[in-house]
């Protein structure tokens, strides 16, 4: 444990330099924020600090391939900023809204955005997906809800030619199959892509609905 009460962050993996490019230092600063304030405020489990990079920060970048150049993105249920903050750092071309209903989490996000100097690219909105009124090219989310509920919560947030990009676990295909009727009723289709964010990374399952 460090003086701030959080765990020590594991060393920055070599691959992070390639994935974050000029934003590497900011990505390291974000890792430190997660490992200190993130843990103190209960947004990150203390045991997670050892695997912040692989499991949280780099894993978040699995959404990036599915996000067109210059897109507007809303990260629904952003929590501590995952996947929205790593995405914004790696992709300076996208504009990101971090949507989070809980006051404490929204405050955490506001402080992180300020400290990382991301104010021109990233905004924080305290709201629930169902009541948020705005349109984006892409909705991202990780660990927020199962697909049928996610569709109900987020369909009004993306343009007709936009998409939902959800980071899911290994049961992603079952989730898409189970939501088949819901998807068809809404004239949408869902597919699962398996992404290896960097050579040798554990596969990440990404559900893309459009
Ligand atoms: C398990 S956390 C995941 C946080 C982050 N996406 C991550 O992967 O670490 C789920 C988040 O969804 C938020 N949430 C719950 N219901 C929501 C809703 N209706 N609209 C938007 N966010 C919601 C919660 O406040 C919480 O921060």
Give the Cα separation of 27 and 201 in Å (integer): 18
144 close to ligand 1 (CB < 6 Angstrom) = yes
Helix (H, G, I), strand (E, B) or coil at 71: coil
Which segments of the chain are extended strands (E)?
A: 72-76, 95-99, 122-125, 136-142, 158-168, 190-195, 204-209
Supply the pLDDT for residue 7: 57
Mutate to test the pocket of ligand 1, among 41, 77, 155 (most ligand atoms within 8 A of CB): 77
Q: Give pLDDT tens digits along the chain (210 positions).
A: 443 445 578 899 999 999 999 999 999 999 999 999 999 999 999 999 999 999 999 999 999 999 999 999 999 999 999 999 999 999 999 999 999 999 999 999 999 999 999 999 999 999 999 999 999 999 999 999 999 999 999 999 999 999 999 999 999 999 999 999 999 999 999 999 999 999 999 999 999 999
Supply the pLDDT for residue 144: 95
Mutate to test the pocket of ligand 1, among 107, 132, 144 (most ligand atoms within 8 A of CB): 144
How many angstroms is it from 104 CA to the middle of ligand 1? 12
Is the distance from CB of 167 to CB of 63 less than 8 angstroms? yes
Give the tokens for residue 188.
Answer: 């949408």
Burial class (CB in 10 A: 0-12, 13-18, 19+), 62: buried
Name 58's Cβ contacts closer than 8 Å, sequence gap at least 6: 13, 15, 16, 19, 86, 197, 198, 201
58 close to ligand 1 (CB < 6 Angstrom) = no
Name the residue with the closest Cα to ligand 1, atom 27: 79
């Amino acid at each position: 444990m460090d003086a701030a009460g959080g765990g020590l962050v594991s060393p920055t993996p070599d691959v992070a330099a390639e994935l974050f490019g000029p934003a590497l230092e900011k990505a390291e600063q974000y890792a430190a924020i997660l490992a200190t304030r993130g843990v103190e405020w209960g947004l990150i489990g203390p045991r997670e600090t050892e695997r912040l990079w692989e499991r949280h920060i780099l894993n978040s970048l699995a959404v990036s391939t599915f996000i067109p150049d210059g897109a507007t993105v809303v990260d629904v249920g952003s929590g501590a900023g995952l996947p929205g903050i790593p995405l914004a750092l790696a992709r300076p071309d996208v504009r990101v809204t971090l949507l989070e209903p809980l006051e404490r989490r929204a405050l955490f996000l506001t402080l992180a955005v300020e400290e990382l100097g991301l104010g021109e690219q990233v905004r924080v909105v305290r709201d629930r997906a169902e009541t948020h009124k705005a349109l984006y090219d892409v909705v991202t989310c990780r660990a927020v809800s199962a697909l049928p509920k996610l569709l109900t919560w987020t369909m009004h947030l993306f343009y007709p030619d936009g998409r939902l990009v959800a980071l899911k676990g290994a049961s992603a295909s079952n989730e898409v199959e189970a939501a088949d009727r819901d998807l068809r009723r809404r004239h949408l289709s869902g597919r699962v892509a398996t992404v290896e964010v960097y050579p040798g990374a554990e596969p990440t399952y990404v559900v893309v609905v459009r």
